[in-house]
Structure 1
């Protein structure tokens, strides 16, 4: 690595620019009488710091695009208009998704590349969505949707959406947001509408009462996902990975968690699990590392040594006992690293 590339990596490392939550795709190229800094970045201060460092090597022309990129204010945001939209690490459908967003979630559009949108979700996670999954709009339109202007905002707990002839138009996953109009129709972000079939809807204003921030309530919600298959990057009962499952469950209870397990391991306060995990409360989070110390798995405590988690080894959401003798329980116990409490006392 040459000195110029090293300067880029040093700034990235020292400012903690995680590519999951920050864009710092910059490079230094030769230019007339010095160097040219090109690329894209979401942290203007990091760009300025890099320019200051590069000045030691010669004159620097800054051609870096600060994100969000300049564009139409009317299309600086988007609302997910499909039941589930895969978030990609690159602007192509053939790569492995990094997460999912569900119907009605708001995203900020950072940049565009053909039909692909580089977006930042409400959880700060950055990736690429195909524009076919998104209804573009301005910020005020997005906020109006969340307020439920013209109706009442509601959240799906796995409700069917029916057409005029009662044919099923689609299944809306847990956490999907809609607006219920005065005539009872459910309006989607792109203007389509239908009626509720089987399943359940909860008014947004009733969510705190229905899903309070206490451990026993969180456990009840988590158990309703029992049998959900394991799916890398998934966040719905149709398929979820460990951290997507935890994030989605806590989101219903008004607790915003980041997307990945290593990020979640920095939330809340540390908890001493006590002998044989006896001090853990329902709703505590447990973190595991398969190799070294980097957290790669998260589980939700049912109280004491009992946990529920979405595990590849179990094929999906299942309950384990960390004091158990099953081979998978023994292996998980060996990988335990820490516990955190994210719910209020």
Structure 2
């Protein structure tokens, strides 16, 4: 990736809907092309269209590149720009502000347990605006938040909320139960109950999620009398547990 963030689109034109985002250092597989537009598949299997202007050939070894925790960098060519949480830094990149950690430090920094995952979800995206298709603290949707937090901790989740429901294990249907930290709560506002929203339990009856109704990432008390939270309780389709290796 040449850019800090590249849009992943539903069709090969810039005016179409954003479906997800690709971050600097991510490796994708090109599966189709139309002029300057390429259809790509990410490591999570998610497919979409992006412009060749965002891409550079893979250098190999990207899996060993440093992880941005939110930093400002200077590239080898002298360009200075910001990188969001989760982006990767090429070896020749200098960190000017913020923090980046070596790839082999990610696991000890982001422990693979429910309490650590929930703590990251509550802290690292705090204040992020809601953005359909977004995956960073610069703008994130509900399933993008879940996928990116899980990835930091070495847990693989697919991109969309309904896919995440299929990739996790159901434990209850009660949104207000005493959930374990990092349990995923799924919701639907559709008559057919297809999953349309997801949040993560923090313990103590709280949930973090990115919701358009709240303007972005917020923490809810699931037993609150707030009309929106009351509606969420009725829309809950199930509470699922992450498959933590």
Q: What band does the TM-score fall into relative to the shorter chain?
A: over 0.9
2:122/2:202 contact within 8 Å kept? no
Deviation at residue 343 of structure 1 after TM alignment: 4.2
Distance 2:158 2:219 in 1: 23
Post-superposition shift, 1:300? 0.3
> Structure 1: any 5+ residue segments left out of the alignment?
1-79, 148-152, 187-194
1:203-249 CA distances to partner (integer Å, 9 max, x unpaired)?
11011111011111112211221110000100000000000011111
Equivalent runs, 1:169-188 vs 2, <5 Å: 169-180=80-91, 185-186=92-93
Cα offsets for 1:288-320 (capped at 9, x unmatched): 001121000000001142100000011000000
Secondary structure of the structure 2 residue equivalent to 1:200: strand
Secondary structure of 1:313's counterpart equals helix
Residue equivalent to 2:35: 114
Tell me whether 1:105 sits opposite 2:26 in the alignment.
yes
Report how many aligned residue pairs link the two structures.
242
Q: TM-score, normalised by structure 2?
A: 0.93
Q: Quick one: distance in 1 between partners of 2:63 and 2:201? A: 32
Q: Which residue does the alignment assign to 1:306?
A: 206
Confirm or deny: 8 A CA contact 1:216 1:283 kept in the other structure. yes
Q: Give the whole-Å Cα distance in 2 for the aligned partners of 1:334 and 1:170.
A: 44
Q: Give the aligned CA root-mean-square deviation in angstroms.
A: 1.8
Distance 2:227 2:174 in 1: 22
Partner of 2:137: 237
Using the alignment, how far apart are the partners of 1:120 and 1:322 within structure 2?
36
1:160 aligns to 2:60 (yes or no): no
Find the aligned partners of 1:88 and 1:248 in 2 and give their Cα distance: 18
CA distance in 2, matches of 1:128, 1:274: 38
- SS of match in other structure, 1:128: strand
Any unmatched runs of 5+ in structure 2? Answer: none
Alpha-carbon distance in 2 for matches of 1:132, 1:297: 32
Partner of 1:253: 153
Misfit runs of 4+, over 2 Å: 144-147, 272-276
Structure ID, larger Rg = 1
For the residues of structure 2 that align with 1:227 and 1:344, how far apart are their CA atoms? 27
Structure showing greater relative contact order (alpha-carbon pairs closer than 8 Å, 6 or more residues apart): 2
